Structure 1
Amino acid sequence: MLNYRYNLKELLSALESAGELDFFVTDIFRFNLVCEENFGVRELLFDEHIARESKSEYFNQVFAGMLGNNFREFMRQLIENNDLPFYDLISRKFIELLGREKNSVFAEVLTAVDLTPEQQGLIQKELERLEDKKVYLHNIVSRNVLGGLVIKCGEKMLDLSLQSGLEQLKAALAV
């Protein structure tokens, strides 16, 4: 059983040994995106006044089939131990640890549709050139992206979305 509670390095090693590391990281990003895009999900899951059983049932309903077994087990432990308020800190520390251990950075590419493997490869190669380190790239389809893409890489964000372009055009025409 994966246990985040005592040692994130152990969690990292267990995921890596099982060949599940990339899936787990993708699930972190996917969970964060669902919480960001759907009002009420985060509020309900993180409300200290709601019973653990209700949170667990809600989590299972909302994320059924969307997240891998390891991440679901990780979240089950957080819920069971009343540690959900620490989710952001734990997940951020996990990503930081992975970045240090693997000399890497994680990039989310938000798009309206799935990128092809070739498109992902081109973006990953360019980000690795710019960052001068290994880049783990995760494409996430977001309903907030109408076209184009938004790249979040570490603390940096590059917005190449259609909406951003239209806003820039609107601002230029208003002058």
Structure 2
Amino acid sequence: MAEEKSIVSGVSGRYATALFELALDSGAVDAVEADLSRFTDLLAESDDLTRLVRSPVFAAEDQLRAVSAVLAKAGIGGLVANFIKVAAGNRRLFVLPGMIADFRRLAAAHRGEVTAEVTSAEPLSDAATAALKEALKAKIGKDVTLVTQVDPALIGGLVVKVGSRMVDTSLRSKLNSLKIAMKEVG
């Protein structure tokens, strides 16, 4: 467990480690990860829910009541529901995205996987996701879990982060490099 604890830190790491240990003890790591992914999807779909999670303006009781209703409607219960409610009650809901990311890191490390953060200009197709996973697995030598996000400002290409390494093939970066080169010439 010492190795797993070293890959997360801070408040989000402490909460994620506690949830991971509970999930591991009850044999529910995959189920917890699936519920956390569903909640992450809810955050991505709802600006109001994101505002509720991030804003310090809402009282803990209001956050707890609202999050409880969202969890019930989404059918998310058990460890994840209790975990999110504890975070809300402790005024730590704003750290929830970090807690979820740290839990994913712990779960991936437990399975012997490496997590790669991938940012693309458009959502990746299933074929592109599979090809990227295979390419990263060939390069790294371990199974790779992709955490994807979309940033239209990239224009095209990808930004891939694995641990402390980053590969930026985005069109935005290439255009910025060209702009800098043109300034040096002129």
Same fold, judged at TM 0.5 (above): yes
CA contact (8 A) 1:148 1:161 kept: yes
Unaligned runs of 5+ in 1: none
Instruction: Give the C-alpha shift of residue 46 in structure 1.
Output: 5.7
1:83 aligns to 2:92 (yes or no): yes
Change (3 A) 1:130 1:25: farther
Residue 24 of structure 1 aligns with an amino acid whose one-letter code is L
Paired-residue identity, %: 24
Unaligned runs of 5+ in 2: 1-14
Task: Give the whole-Å Cα distance in 1 for the aligned partners of 2:65 and 2:172.
Answer: 36
Q: In structure 1, the residue corresponding to 2:123 is in which secondary structure?
A: coil
Instruction: Give the C-alpha shift of residue 27 in structure 1.
Output: 5.7
Change (3 A) 1:89 1:149: closer
Higher relative contact order (CA 8 A, sep 6+): 2
Deviations 1:95-145 (Å, cap 9, x if unpaired)? 342233111111222122221111111111111122211101133223443
CA contact (8 A) 2:108 2:145 kept: no
1:69 aligns to 2:83 (yes or no): no
Task: Give the whole-Å Cα distance in 2 for the aligned partners of 1:45 and 1:87.
Answer: 9
Task: Give the whole-Å Cα distance in 2 for the aligned partners of 1:59 and 1:143.
Answer: 30
The corresponding residue for 2:7 is none
Work out which of the two has the higher radius of gyration on C-alpha atoms and give 1 or 2.
2
Q: How many residues align?
A: 160
Task: Give the whole-Å Cα distance in 2 for the aligned partners of 1:29 and 1:44.
Answer: 14
Q: Which of the two has greater helix per residue?
A: 2
The partner residue of 1:133 within 100, 123, 142 is 142
Q: What is the root-mean-square deviation in Å for CA atoms of aligned residues?
A: 4.0
The corresponding residue for 1:174 is 183
Task: Give the whole-Å Cα distance in 2 for the aligned partners of 1:94 and 1:132.
Answer: 22
Q: Structure 1 length normalisation: TM-score?
A: 0.66
Counterparts of residues 1-175 of structure 1 (less than 5 Å): 6-11=18-23, 13-16=27-30, 18=31, 21=33, 24=36, 45=54, 47=56, 50-55=58-63, 69=76, 73=81, 74-84=83-93, 87=96, 90-91=99-100, 93-175=102-184
CA contact (8 A) 1:56 1:79 kept: yes
Q: Structure 2 length normalisation: TM-score?
A: 0.62
Instruction: Give the C-alpha shift of residue 56 in structure 1.
Output: 5.1
